[in-house]
Amino acid sequence: MSAYVLNLITVRLLIAALTLLIVSFAVFFATAMLPGDTATILLGQAATPEAVAGLRNAMHLDQPAFLRFLHWLSGLMSGDLGTSYVNNVAVADLIGGRFVNTMRLAGITALFSVPLALTLGITAAMFRGSLYDRLVTILTIGVISIPEFMVATLAVLIFSVYLKWLPALSFANDVTSVWQLLKVYAMPVISLTFVVAAQMIRMTRAAVIDTINTPYVETALLKGASRPRMVLRHALPNAIGPIVNAVALSLSYLVGGVIIVETIFNYPGIAKLMVDGVATRDLPLIQSCAMIFCVGYLSLITLADIIAILANPRLR
């Protein structure tokens, strides 16, 4: 690996670290500006001013915001996510099981959506201009136009209300067999796949077509190579970088989509926990959940950039 490639990767990692610092600043002060006083909400409207002042002092809410941010950031960097205001339990303990559920949902969605999207995107580029290509393009544009909350709502109406095939709510802890696994994850995975796969199909198709239009691939076609061989043997290996970027960017949509899907299906994940934290103004819980989503998003984007650098033969 050349020094130039190492410098590029180092710059990407430094940019990711700086971005994460800026995001942590934004997350802390955005949650701090939520309406209402935390101490008053926890004690109730009947609490005396002395009790409210004592709780604010115990929770360090009477300190300047910037000092509270530095204290929170230092704890975050050391692995201390703080204590929940509502449950008086370590936030790490609240998030532990929920994090596993969210990762399981995201993993099943990725295992289902990535092969499907890559297959449709590559074959659509392979037979560009055909009826199949037009059909895939029309379907992906239509799916992109539908927001995920509508997809999830329609899935509940069709499969739960009318057909009665699947439960309207997903309880991940009730899984004891393959059939129950399918019943619990079917509708959340279908809803998230609509969010993820459509964008991935379009970006994969565009990346492969850009590679097909290069002179060396056109030369292979002029020498008699079939279109499938031209795409799979010549174009696809050189489109790995853009395709990886397409996959990473599409999977990053899970960050937003999983919040809506977990809320609609009452799925016990981090997103549902964060929504509940907003309702009770549990600031440490909200901040920790938001940072987990931000770290996941930045990790995907940074990994895609690094793979694109390593997959570029000119940089190597």
pLDDT at 15: 92
- Give the pTM: 0.78
* 281 has a pLDDT exceeding 90: no
Domain coordinates of the chain in residue numbers? 3-34+81-311
Q: How confident is the model at residue 66 (pLDDT cuts 50, 70, 90)?
A: confident
pLDDT digits (tens, 9 = 90+) for 15-25: 999 999 999 98
pLDDT at 18: 93
Q: Which of 277, 308, 240 is nearest to 81 (CA)?
A: 277
pLDDT digits (tens, 9 = 90+) for 15-55: 999 999 999 988 888 877 766 666 666 666 666 777 777 77
* 73 has a pLDDT exceeding 70: yes
* 296 has a pLDDT exceeding 70: yes
* Mean pLDDT, range 256-284, rounded to an integer: 80
pLDDT at 94: 84
pLDDT at 135: 92
pLDDT at 302: 87
pLDDT at 14: 93
SS3 track for the chain? CCHHHHHHHHHHHHHHHHHHHHHHHHHHHHHHCCCCCHHHHHHCCCCCHHHHHHHHHHCCCCCCHHHHHHHHHHHHHCCCCCECCCCCCEHHHHHHHHHHHHHHHHHHHHHHHHHHHHHHHHHHHHCCCCHHHHHHHHHHHHHHCCCHHHHHHHHHHHHHHHCCCCCCCCCHHHCCCHHHHHHHHHHHHHHHHHHHHHHHHHHHHHHHHHHHCCHHHHHHHHCCCCHHHHHHHHHHHHCHHHHHHHHHHHHHCHHHHHHHHHHHCCCCCHHHHHHHHHHHCCHHHHHHHHHHHHHHHHHHHHHHHHHHHHHCCCCC
* 148 has a pLDDT exceeding 80: no
For 207-234, give one letter per residue: b (16+ CB within 10 A) or e.
Answer: bbbebbeeeebeebbeeeeeeeebbeeb
* Mean pLDDT, range 272-288, rounded to an integer: 83
* 169 has a pLDDT exceeding 80: no
3-34+81-311 adopts what CATH topology?
A: MetI-like fold (1.10.3720)
* Mean pLDDT, range 59-84, rounded to an integer: 80
**One-letter amino acid for residue 139 of the chain:** L
Q: How confident is the model at residue 172 (pLDDT cuts 50, 70, 90)?
A: low
pLDDT at 42: 67
**Distance in angstroms (rounded) separating the CA atoms of residues 246 and 248:** 6
* Mean pLDDT, range 100-112, rounded to an integer: 85
- Measured over the CA atoms of residue 243, residue 247, residue 249 and residue 250, the dihedral's sign is positive
Which of 134-143, 181-190, 221-230 bottoms out in mean pLDDT, i.e. has the lowest? 221-230
**One-letter amino acid for residue 137 of the chain:** T
* 240 has a pLDDT exceeding 70: yes
Q: How confident is the model at residue 146 (pLDDT cuts 50, 70, 90)?
A: confident
